Amino acid sequence: MTLILPRTNLAKDFITGGQQSVGVRVPNNVIALALLTEFEAQGGIGIAAPSANRFGKVSPTTLIHVVSELSNYLGEDDLILDGGQSDIGVESTIINCTQSTPAILRPGAITDFMIQKVLDRPLEARNDSYSNSLRVPGLLESHYSPKARVILSGNPLPGDGFIALDSFKTPPGVVRLASPKNANEYAKMLYQALHLADQKELEKVFAIPPEGEDISVAIRDRLTKAAFKD
């Protein structure tokens, strides 16, 4: 999860984009934790870093995705730390903690039920005012988009891509991009499937989002934004 907190003097404008808040998280990854520990040992306080993809594009979940997305923009001295495949797949839950009552700005694997259980209090419902007052990743209507057109209704035709739980059969001639067994697998495989669609130069990808109030909420959020076109 990512916590949106009031900034202090440690978070300069180049980190916050001039906002009076800052997003903070600690990745649950051995290599990332080792990097933070070593940086702290050398006198560092924290590392400011964006996601390893260009704005609005499909998020990377493997080293290959990062290389294919950013290699043309890296210099000779730039390094890529390979922490392995993403365990969860979709991005972190973003929680606004700048108000008296926390609110989820972007859903993720940490659900509102989990947060409410820890806090023993309800969360504030998200509203459009957050989009105006806070600039955080994933709040735009169009985001996480592959080159292929993502479609969430209708039936795929031969040559189209298809993402759905394995209980859904693949129509004849359709390119199956992922067949997850449950919502957790769906989240882990989603961006790999969208990257694969672009590798195969597919024009359309039909996706059937999973139902439920678990990580399925985050999956539906990402697919809705991927499918949105101006």
- Residue 79, domain extent: 2-133
Closest CA to 188 of 75, 4, 70, 62: 62
> What average pLDDT does the segment 14-27 reach?
91
What distance in Å separates the CA atoms of residue 142 and residue 4, rounded to the nearest whole number? 22
Both 119 and 7 in one domain: the answer is yes
Both 88 and 168 in one domain: the answer is no
State both tokens at 83: 């922490």
Least confident of 10-24, 57-71, 94-108, 114-128: 114-128
> What average pLDDT does the segment 170-193 reach?
97
Percent of the chain with pLDDT over 70: 91
Contacts of 85 (CB under 8 A, 6+ apart): 61, 62, 188
Q: Is residue 141 part of a domain?
A: no
Both 100 and 66 in one domain: the answer is yes
User: What single DSSP character describes residue 42?
Assistant: T
Q: Is residue 109 part of a domain?
A: yes
Q: Is residue 173 part of a domain?
A: yes
Please state, as a whole number, how many other Cβ atoms lie within 10 Å of the Cβ of residue 7: 18
| Predicted confidence (pLDDT) per residue in 56-90, tens digit | 788 899 999 999 888 889 898 998 889 899 999 99
Both 179 and 75 in one domain: the answer is no
Least confident of 47-56, 152-161, 166-175: 47-56
What distance in Å separates the CA atoms of residue 219 and residue 19, rounded to the nearest whole number? 28
- Our measurement of the distance from residue 163's CA atom to the centroid of its chain's CA atoms, rounded to an integer in Å, reads 17
Q: Is residue 142 part of a domain?
A: no
Is this model's pTM higher than 0.85 or not?
A: yes
Both 117 and 172 in one domain: the answer is no
Total count of domains within the chain? 2
Give helix 183-199 / helix 216-227 axis angle, nearest 10°: 20
At residue 146, the pLDDT reads: 87
Q: What is the SS3 assignment for 111?
A: coil
Both 43 and 70 in one domain: the answer is yes
Q: Would the pLDDT of 104 be above 90?
A: yes
**pLDDT, mean over the chain:** 89
Both 60 and 96 in one domain: the answer is yes
Both 124 and 170 in one domain: the answer is no
Higher pLDDT, 122 or 134: 122
Q: Which of 89, 104, 133 is the last residue of a domain?
A: 133
Both 117 and 174 in one domain: the answer is no
Q: Is residue 36 part of a domain?
A: yes
- Look up tokens 């057109």; give the residue: 149
Q: Which of 133, 161, 189 is the last residue of a domain?
A: 133
Both 115 and 173 in one domain: the answer is no
Q: Would the pLDDT of 131 be above 50?
A: no
Q: Would the pLDDT of 126 be above 80?
A: no
At residue 143, the pLDDT reads: 66
Higher pLDDT, 66 or 49: 66
Q: Find which of 9-23, 43-57, 83-97, 179-193 is predicted with most confidence, using mean pLDDT.
A: 179-193
Both 157 and 197 in one domain: the answer is yes
